[in-house]
Structure 1
Amino acid sequence: MSLLDHDCFNKVSRRYAILIDVGYLYAAAAEVLLGATSRREYKVDAEPLISALISRARSQLPDGELLRVYWFDAARDRVPTVDQRVIAHMELVKVRLGNLNSRGQQKGVDAMIRTDLEQLARHRAIHEAILLAGDEDMVSAVEIAQAYGVRVHVWGVEPPYGTNQAERLVWEADTVDVISGDDCRPYFAKLGTAAAASAKIAGAPVAEPVPQQPSPASVFGQRHSVAVTMSAAEALEEAEQARPAFVRSTTGGKFDQDVVISIGEYVAHKWVLTRGRENIADLLPGPTLPTVIDKELLVEAEKELGYSLRDHPGARIWVRDGFWERVNREFNIER
């Protein structure tokens, strides 16, 4: 190997990525700066904020090469907002969207962060990772990444008191850095009453309230308990709001195979987001679903179609095919 080749190899091996839990970043910064608990109460100038975070990373890893910034946020029906579309056009920034339900809660974001960090490490795409997050759910992904030789630098936002990051996450980090409120101040502004009302009408994402005396258990345990206590009516409302536009507009009153398969894929995608990868993994390896789950799948598909599948065995098969195509893709299973 020539000296030039050796230098190029070293440069690639020093590559790093920045993974940002936007819900945590916004909520933590808004609390310390503005005393705000809802994302409808403030506006964020995201483009210069992201540029500032990249500059911070480059100053801390001067010999590294930025692969990209992963911007994990949420949106209704996973349809990006205007701000998210602007961010998606930034160089070296990849927007990853979870679903935002009717209660303003993010679904599937933590799972995407864990999956991306693990995949980057497993495929040797990076040597170091900067993780701006606070949830204890990130610990397993940090441990896996470290097992593949990746150094994980955990960043947090200065809390007004106590802590806003899970203690175990801080323990497992290779290094820890705290972004001060002053560093965040140029990018956050509180909205007036009229602007906040407009944001509510527009369906802006909502940050979960932070307890008065937060602890890792109270701050990061709440999002798991909410799904368990959600009423049937709320679950139906969320399902209706999550219906993708392309399904509504292409059914056309007939059973088109591609449309029916896409509905099966959509139902599987929604299940992974709302029930978690762990629960969906119990269905593997397939292709036969438990009777109760199979019935639920067909009911969900009928809601999207607006027609009964009882007398259409071929369409029922297409729904199941779409379901398994999505699940197999999610879990990287080849058939």
Structure 2
Amino acid sequence: MPDELDIELFRPGTFTAAGGRNLDFSADTLAQIAAGYDPAAYDAPVVVGHPAGDAPAYGWVKGLRIEGGRLKATLHKIDPAFAELVKDGKYRKVSASFYMPDHPNNPKPGALSLRHVGFLGAQPPAVKGLKPVEFAEGDRVDRVAVVEADGFADFAEGGATMAELLAQVRALSNQVNELRARNADFAETERAAKSRENRAFVATLVKEGRFWPGFADGMAAFLDSLDGPGHVIEFAEHGETVTRSGGEFMRDFLRRQPVTIHFGELAAPDAAAVGEHATEDELAERIAGFVESERAAGRTVSYSDALRAVTLSRNA
């Protein structure tokens, strides 16, 4: 490390202290700090971290100046052993600590004053965007700016103001709500598509004669409910445990039903007497009603017998 080293300490901005208070470091404020620094009155030390006042100094701040809108410091009388530790990467960050205007030890009462320059190890930066230190050998140390507690102020990482943090929270909340809305829309689209599939499936069963048309709408709605969340069943099949949704199981069950309804018979001459303009559903309702009335009377009839009975009753 050279006998003297110029480093970048601070940049203008409004920073939030740990207690929630915002402190403004304007360009004018930084200029006042630079102009007010007098090493003859108070020689700010170069230290490790942000220690108490009795910690050893490994160098001193010779002077402060404004360059390119940033507060810069010239360090001198740097301890050679400490310089080697920095070169070896033991301390890769630098932080500036300032006295608050009303601190009793402030050498410039009523104004912010530089307290010390701390070299840090693993501590994360509190103010980003400062230029790294460039050593003659090409080593680099990242810049950090912190104003401490105990009569100082500890600034939040990144220098965000409370208003900026609240804006970020609102933006994240809006993103979450948007994702929830998209998820709900997707779920509704998926549910509607599945419902159309169920109705087409039942219509195919009816066409094949595996299911009675009068119950088609009810079965489609029933399949919709079985496809909902939470309807999962486990059972043994061929010596293995099978996990399926209720809808999948019911559709497989219905597919395996034998053909029991032959609609060709419904178009026989006798069936025409049921009504010239009777729809398939109306015919199914009449037959189902006849079956139920017979069952209530203690008699069991097949759908074929019910068809004949309905046909004869209309033809009489």
Give the TM-score normalised by structure 1: 0.21
More helix by share: 1
Larger CA Rg, structure 1 vs 2: 2
